[in-house]
Amino acid sequence: MGTKAHQATSAETKAVGQELAAVLPDNGPWYKQKHIVRLNFTILSMIMFSSSNGYDGSMMNGLLALPQWAEFMDSPTGAWLGFINAIYSLGSVVVYPVAAWMCNKYGRKPGIWIGYAFLLLGTALQTAANGEIAFVLARLFLGCASGFFLSVPLLIAENAYPTQRGIASSLYNCGWYVGSIVAAWVTFGTRDMDHWAWRVPSLLQAAIPLFALPGFLMANESPRWLVSVDRVDEARQILANDHCGGDLNAPLVAFEITEIEATLKAEKEANDSTSWSDLWSTPGNRHRLFISVTLGIFGQWVGNGVVSYYLAMVLETVGITSVKDQTLISGCLQIWNLIWAVAAASMVDKIGRRALFLSSGTIMLVSYIIITGLSGSFAATGNHATGTAVIPFLFIYFMGYDIALTPLIVSYTVEIWPFRLRAKGLSATMLTTIAAVFFNTFINPIALDAIQWKYYFVFVAVLVAMIVTVWFSYPETRGRTLENMAYLFDGEDAVAGGITAEDVLKAGAEHDERDGSAEK
């Protein structure tokens, strides 16, 4: 399949920079190109892996409102309730370092199969649980499954079509809300059953990741990982098939393979081995690690953790106690979240990452201050209208959360780290996130029981800290490939040089020469 000369558009230049945009094939809209449609089907399928976390959070939120589950679990409260929620996070914490090692050693795909095994085991055990211990152990296995899905966002970012990488990576975490929507409405629909009111939602916990299986089977291994283990010809063929319809001689293929080879060679020369200490070994890496850790903290300590797992308790503090009303509000909130998260993900290259982060923090801060004030007023007066007024501001708050912390917490982390540290860098964010989730799910019910709405002041302070941190520390990453992102953090010491059209022509000539020698 031949490619035509391409005149880069403004949107393409914003997404990947001028050099790469100039070598993009001009074959019409992506949806008219079978190879990119196929590639995007695999990416859309893999986005569904993130649904497992969203499903769990929303399902547990719904189960808290079900008297059938409370009776089965002997009405857990306080620390025990926190532990039941937090054990899922503990499973992920144990697995993340192993998953990071596996996806560097054996490729991005093998660990995901182990995740599937844990997912099926946990789902079966939770559905058939005959007591509290079985239910809690099942949640541990489900957390392990989530941990082994670590390499999915790496596979998406490293395989996506260049101009669609930012959007594809940002959409990954939006799958969280697909899971949360399904869980919220399943729980709403089964609320009047007997003991199946909570077993049906448990049974369906594996459904969405299983729907992703056909697309995952079709997905290719990461070309960057293949280059890292000296399987360059396989990587070139995958890039040609996925990005240029099989045209090995396309300028885009030459550009990408040249940039990947040059970057990985430079990384290897700079440090042939990779250890966890490399995450803080240089000023650039310390900057990346600071972003990774603070993103993990902000992703859970800006107040969302209270609503994600304890919406029923939050609503009770403002006088909304009906099971039907609580589960209905939860279901509507998840749909709202998905709409805004997807909308923001589609805008990452148009308006940039920093603008989304700063807008997110500002909207959350203002709405959370209002939520705190209304909750305090209801506690003092008991006025039902005041309590009900909290609901729209909860929706506004989550709009703010969705436009940055849903799409960017994973995608921004993935793109700022160089290849050899990408899995460990993402693990650092996920481990920080899980630590924050573990703390929140354990402490939040205790704090809500003890001081109720006054606990919200903690999150107001964290939101202020988030805005200040983003303003001074988070660089704009729009318009760069994964390979030349290093300049933002390492400056003149960046291990990867920029690739130019001359480099591409040279690489193409060398490739043709190798092919000619092979034919002889």
Task: Kindly report the three-state secondary structure assignment for every residue of 263-284.
Answer: HHHHHHHHCCCCCHHHHHCCHH
- 4 pLDDT tier (thresholds 50, 70, 90): low
pLDDT of residue 358 exceeding 80, the answer is yes
Render pLDDT for 16-68 as a digit per residue (tens, 0 to 9): 778 888 888 888 888 899 999 999 999 999 999 998 888 887 788 778 778 88
Q: Give the integer Cα–Cα distance in Å for 383 and 137.
A: 42
pLDDT of residue 501 exceeding 50, the answer is no
Arithmetic mean of pLDDT, 180-198: 84
Q: Give the integer Cα–Cα distance in Å for 404 and 348.
A: 9
Render pLDDT for 229-271 as a digit per residue (tens, 0 to 9): 999 999 999 999 999 999 999 999 999 999 899 888 887 777 7
CB proximity list for 475: less than 8 A, separation 6 or greater: 354, 488, 489
Arithmetic mean of pLDDT, 355-368: 94
Q: Give the integer Cα–Cα distance in Å for 368 and 351.
A: 25
- 183 pLDDT tier (thresholds 50, 70, 90): confident
Arithmetic mean of pLDDT, 459-472: 94
Q: Give the integer Cα–Cα distance in Å for 426 and 293.
A: 10
Contact 263, 403 (CB under 8 A): no
pLDDT of residue 118 exceeding 90, the answer is yes
Query: Which range (178-187, 278-287, 457-466) has the least confidence?
Result: 178-187
Cα-Cα-Cα-Cα torsion 217, 219, 225, 229, nearest 10 degrees, comes to 60
Query: Which range (45-59, 240-254, 273-287, 449-463) has the least confidence?
Result: 449-463
If one compares 277 and 325, the residue with the highest pLDDT of the two is 277
Contact 147, 91 (CB under 8 A): yes
Arithmetic mean of pLDDT, 447-475: 85
Tokens linked to 82: 């926190």
pLDDT of residue 376 exceeding 80, the answer is no
pLDDT of residue 343 exceeding 70, the answer is yes
If one compares 238 and 319, the residue with the highest pLDDT of the two is 238
pLDDT in the model for residue 393: 84
In eight-state DSSP terms, residue 499 is P
Q: What is the mean pLDDT of the chain?
A: 84
Arithmetic mean of pLDDT, 476-501: 73
pLDDT of residue 166 exceeding 70, the answer is yes
Superfamily per CATH, domain 28-219+271-479: MFS general substrate transporter like domains (1.20.1250.20)
- 514 pLDDT tier (thresholds 50, 70, 90): low
Render pLDDT for 291-307 as a digit per residue (tens, 0 to 9): 999 999 999 888 776 65
- Three-state DSSP at 74 gives coil
- 492 pLDDT tier (thresholds 50, 70, 90): low
Arithmetic mean of pLDDT, 153-179: 93
**Which helix H or strand E contains 452, and what residues bound it?**
none
Place of tokens 């969280």: 176
If one compares 9 and 422, the residue with the highest pLDDT of the two is 422
Q: What is the pTM of this model?
A: 0.86
pLDDT in the model for residue 224: 95
If one compares 24 and 328, the residue with the highest pLDDT of the two is 24
CB proximity list for 222: less than 8 A, separation 6 or greater: 107, 108, 154, 155, 158, 159
**Which helix H or strand E contains 188, and what residues bound it?**
helix 175-189
Arithmetic mean of pLDDT, 69-92: 84
Contact 342, 171 (CB under 8 A): yes
pLDDT in the model for residue 499: 47
- Three-state DSSP at 498 gives coil
Please report, for the chain, the start and end positions of each structural domain, with discontinuous segments joined by +. Answer: 28-219+271-479
Arithmetic mean of pLDDT, 150-172: 95
Residue type (1 letter), 403: I
Burial 391-415 (b: 16+ CB within 10 A, else e): bebbebbbbbbbbbbbbbbbbbbbb
pLDDT of residue 503 exceeding 60, the answer is no
Give burial (CB, 10 Å; 0-12/13-18/19+) of 202. Answer: buried
Highest mean predicted confidence (pLDDT) among 117-121, 257-261, 316-320: 117-121
